[in-house]
Structure 1
Amino acid sequence: MYAVLMNGGKQYRVKIGQILRLEKINCKIGKVIKFNNILLVKKNEKIFLGQPILKNTVIKACVYKHGRKKKINIIKFNRRKHYKKKQGHRQNYTSVKIIHINLFKE
């Protein structure tokens, strides 16, 4: 069984027990959160597809940890113009562990 959920403008394919990195969510570690934007669920050989989302379907996940990704460097440089600009960015993330995929048939 797997599902496709949408969070932060991105789509993720998830299974029960999977650890997933999402955009920063303001929750404490250990708290259970629910995702309602479910696009697709495959259970056994049946596929349940939403238009665009499935109603009455919930994915429960536990907040596993918070962190920051590896730093990326942005460099802008024009030769012979005495122009050099350097900038860095580290994106915050939240790791969640998928606990349960609850599918209510419509």
Structure 2
Amino acid sequence: MAEYAIVDVGGRQYRVAPGDVITVERLDAPVGQELTLDRVLMVRDADRLLVGEPLVAGAKAVARVLEHGRDRKVLVFKYKPKVNYRRRYGHRQPYTRLAIERLEVAG
């Protein structure tokens, strides 16, 4: 059984272990669905360390979708002095929360 792994989800890398809950970019999957994260870059086992080139062959992380949501609002303010130019707008990034159930390594 793998202790932890480094996975690539949505262009970002996360260190995951069974039982972890991570927040990633919004994924198109319904709540409760089981996802297979197969872009595994590294796996730490009890007695070995597997590093992919770039991916570890046969390794995957199985996760369950817990919820979808939108993050806190980030305010963006543009300002140029002496020309009366001011712009303010906000942005809320959508996210998906995943619960890592298990890590699987072939061989």
One fold, TM greater than 0.5? yes
TM-score, normalization: structure 2? 0.95
Output the amino acid matched with 2:68: H
Q: In structure 1, list runs of 5 or more residues that go unmatched.
A: none
How far did 1:79 drift? 2.1
**How many residues of Structure 1 are paired with residues of Structure 2 in the alignment?**
105
In structure 2, distance between residues paired with 1:63 and 1:104: 24
Q: In structure 2, list runs of 5 or more residues that go unmatched.
A: none
Identity fraction in percent: 29
In structure 2, distance between residues paired with 1:76 and 1:68: 23
TM-score, normalization: structure 1? 0.95
How far did 1:7 drift? 1.1
Let me know the Cα RMSD of the aligned residues: 0.8
In structure 1, distance between residues paired with 2:10 and 2:58: 20
* Aligned position for 1:18: 20
In structure 2, distance between residues paired with 1:53 and 1:7: 13
